[in-house]
Amino acid sequence: MTAPERTWETSRLLARPAAVADAQVVFDDYASDPAVAKYMTWTPHRSVAETKEFLSRCERAWIEGSVFPWSLWHKRDGAFVGLIEVACEQVPSIWGMRSRNAGGVKAS
């Protein structure tokens, strides 16, 4: 699989790989906030060390090519906005099954 661009931007945001170097701001503005974690699959971090551990896993994921987490930053003032990730998974083919394309014709 081809990895996505490491950095990219929109008119308002800069995205770069999530990194341990950003642990303090990620902890202060995001990971320790119960309101942020409320609808997430994780609980609020209790220490910067916990955030560093998480960001270290993010860095390893980029190296392994398994998941691609980015930190988002406002271009205007450089403020941290949040985190997103893309995970690309191979869907196993199912023996004897064929999918239909948009035209309704069975693929060969």
Which CATH number belongs to the domain containing residue 73 in this structure?
3.40.630.30
In a domain, 97, yes or no: no
Domain count, the chain: 1
Tokens of residue 97, six digits: 């099954």
Residue 62: how many CB atoms within 10 A of its CB? 18
Confirm whether 3 is domain-assigned. Answer: no
Q: Model-level pTM greater than 0.85?
A: no
Residue-number span of the structural domain to which 75 is assigned: 8-86
Q: Check: CB of residue 33 under 8 Å from CB of residue 83.
A: no
Q: What would the pLDDT profile of 26-78 be if each residue is shown by its tens digit?
A: 999 999 999 999 988 999 999 999 999 999 999 999 999 889 999 999 999 99
